[in-house]
A = this chain, B = another copy of it.
Amino acid sequence: MAVTVVGSIAFDAVKTPFGVRERMLGGAAVHFALAASFFDEVRVVGPVGDDFGDAELDVLRARGVDVSDIEHVAGGETFFWSGVYGWDLNSRETLETRLGVFETFEPKLSAAARESEVLFLANIQPDIQRAVRAQCTGARFAALDSMNLWIDVARDSLVHTIAGVDCLVLNDAELKQLTGMPNTVKAAREVLSWGPPGPSSIIAKQGEYGATLITADGYFSLPAFPLEDVVDPTGAGDTFAGGFVGYIAACGGARDEELLRRAMAYGTALASFNVEEFGTERVARLTGGEIAERVRELERVTHFSDAPVTLRG
């Protein structure tokens, strides 16, 4: 099934304890698209400025991503983000955000994008996400990511937007903030009650600890893939989402519990590659065989089976 993603296409400046990049290709839609491209046709929707050229587009094209819905805004500047990570990469500070062409972005989707059966609304202003969702009349599965900024300044719109998608993907701290509930399971159950129809699955992203999937009847928690060397976490969440949503698309949109669990594993494997190098560097040259190997390894490092033991009392 074809996948459309709308969201930021960006240049990032990133400093981590392991290096610096002054200007590299980034953005949620880009990270998502590269990951999802391993599973199905992917189309990116979003604006770029005069500073965005063939070198950047070629990173996407090389993975077979359809870039014809990327809108060049003449005279504009591409979205720019810069940030710095702390010692153990668990804290990050945003130094600068320049919205550029996103300040006036009004999505105009092509017929092909509107007819995509799978839609991912990456983290952007929730009004824009809702406008895109409304245009995508062909979408049979829509997922959404957001961030604390929109919970702070546009919560009502965000809640309204979430009610129109099938799956919410959010950092666990943001899920708690969104619902005002201090517990991830409770917070997820709260969102599952929104609608109608509202989301039927919630993914709480937990950074280096992994991710948890909560549905009406199901619960599944998957640790992150073990890594000794993490270089740059930027885009890990979007890469996870690309693997997760991409896997669902490749399976024809089916989403029973077992399939969603596998989709989580593919998302987790993809994200683990993303953080091993800066920006899109690692995923851009990734192979399907490498992904499959990490999914198998993830199965090995999470598996246990009970054996009878006599319990006293």
Which residues of A are in contact with B by a Cβ distance under 8 Å?
A: 17, 37-40, 63-64, 87-89, 176, 182-186, 189, 206, 208-210, 212, 219-224, 226-230, 247, 250-251, 258, 261-262, 264-266, 286-289, 291-292, 295-296, 299, 301-307, 309-313
Contact = CB atoms under 8 A, between A and B. Distances in A.
Contacts of A247: 309
Contact of A37 (B206, B306, B312): B312
Given A183-B227, A183-B229, A227-B185, A39 B302 contact: no
Contacts of A209: 206, 209-210
B223 A221 contact: yes
Q: Give how many copies assemble into the complex.
A: 2
24 contacts: A39-B311, A39-B312, A64-B312, A87-B182, A89-B182, A183-B227, A183-B228, A209-B209, A209-B210, A210-B223, A212-B223, A212-B226, A220-B302, A221-B224, A250-B310, A261-B303, A262-B304, A262-B307, A262-B309, A264-B304, A287-B313, A296-B306, A299-B304, A299-B305
Given A87-B182, A176-B88, A183-B228, A39 B223 contact: no
Contacts of A295: 306
Given A38-B311, A292-B311, A312-B37, A265 B227 contact: no
Nearest to A291: B311
List the 4 closest pairs (A to B, CB-CB), nearest first: A288-B311, A221-B223, A209-B209, A261-B304
Contact of A301 (B182, B184, B219, B224): B219
A210 to B, nearest CB: 7
Contacts of A261: 303-304
Given A222-B304, A286-B313, 19 more contacts: A37-B313, A38-B311, A39-B312, A88-B182, A183-B228, A184-B208, A210-B223, A212-B223, A221-B226, A222-B302, A223-B223, A251-B309, A261-B303, A262-B304, A262-B307, A266-B309, A289-B311, A291-B311, A292-B311
